[in-house]
Structure 1
Amino acid sequence: MTYNNLEISTEDKIGLITINRPKALNALNKETIEELSNAFGELESNEDIRVIILTGSGEKAFVAGADIKEFKDFDGKQGQQLAQVGQTILFNKIENLKKPVIAAVNGYALGGGLELAMSCHFRIASDNALLGLPEVTLGLIPGYGGTQRLPKLIGKGRAMQAIMTAEMFKAEKAEQIGLVNEVVALEELLPRAKKIASKIAFNSPVAISKAIEVINLSDSDKGFEAEINAFGELFDAEDFKEGTTAFLDKRKPNF
């Protein structure tokens, strides 16, 4: 499939999606959101791909936010539809994808950009990253899941303060509060993300898919039951047989 706003590459079981709108600091517009949805669907269905990395082109921005020009004249109904469609076709889709998604956050990750990064399964940031949800400065609140995902990552109190003040976090602070997993130099960002992705790609894709599913239920009352059921189901999978056999044979498993 041809994309106007994305670059897609694959190598060694890793898919790389690069948002490529450098003149707009990779801001999310309707077309880009739709293309991202299609790209994630394409890579999820590709059996050769085990892990997906998402990043932005250039050194300045992962995604600097939503494209405000597209919705500045919207009414309430249109605004609600904007949030609902975006969450459904992209942000929730990434969070529940069967394959792990790593956000490689380079530069600005603001508004919808931070919401996009938070929908990924975890985040690695460059040392020049700046993350925040400044929607209240526009008279809005985050609409792509930011009010729900940020408290889970940094705690309710910190999320309240960050959203109400439109506070922006430098990379070091973001790591301290758990918004990103680690911080590396800009030139090391993609190599580090690929190194982590390679470690994941070595492991059982069936088990990893189940882990994503169950971890996403960890803040609900269904989490423990889901873990028990998933644990049992995996005993019937071929990967379990291969993994245990390889362990006993003292060799690397071939998943």
Structure 2
Amino acid sequence: MINVGFIGFGKMAMAIVQGWKKTGLLNQKLCCFAYAPTWPKLEANCASLDSTPCKTPQELCQKSDVVILACKPYQVDGVLDQTVFDLAGKLVVCVAAGINFEKLDEKLPDIHHVSIMPNTAMAAAAGIVIEEQNNSMDEKDRELFKTLFSPLALIESIASKDFSIAGTIAGCSPAFLGLYAEALADAGVKYGLSRPVAARLAARAVYGAGAMLIEEGKEPSVFKNEICSPGGTTIKGVVTLEKDGFRKAVIEAIEAIEG
């Protein structure tokens, strides 16, 4: 059994554990521990996900083989100051936004660690993990890392200079796709579909398109062009989206985040 501990047990941490539960890893190959400062909420969240709450970060580190820093970025320094001696011999995985290898290595120069950016689709075992190429994992660590995350996500190793933009695309795009799926469902309701049916069709269309792009390995433009028959209905919709600035709006949304 692999003992995995989360310091911070918010939405992202819980999405990861939900993915482990969905895939059967939880309680079969790994045990999960969690620490968060609000005890009643932590107890309730852990109970729902077959996880064990811990009273302190130190207790969690002592029980864990892998420690996942899932707290707020501004809390990372304080957490590491409290636990640095308890982290010896552990693999530390940081999911706190903006905490890259250099920042983490200042605090943990003798401890193996990697910074990642996952997305919430991990809960459905259909996520993305952006892994910073610059890390201090050895081969044993890497096998452990893959055991934990490859059943839940596409793992993409990215150079440090591109870590932010890759994380933005992986982490923020589910919200954009949710907005797109909602708009599709609204259109369906406008033309007579019930809300539940329209929502299911929209969600499945988004899911299916993504699955095909991954499985077939095609460029999105090729995938789009294959669906657009000459003079057909789909190309009329695509032209209207382009006229209304669909592609421009998506790019500008990413630019607004990267700032």
Question: Please, what TM-score do these two structures have when normalized by structure 2?
Answer: 0.29
Quick one: higher RCO (CA 8 Å, sep 6+), 1 or 2?
1
Choose 1 or 2 for highest CA Rg. 2
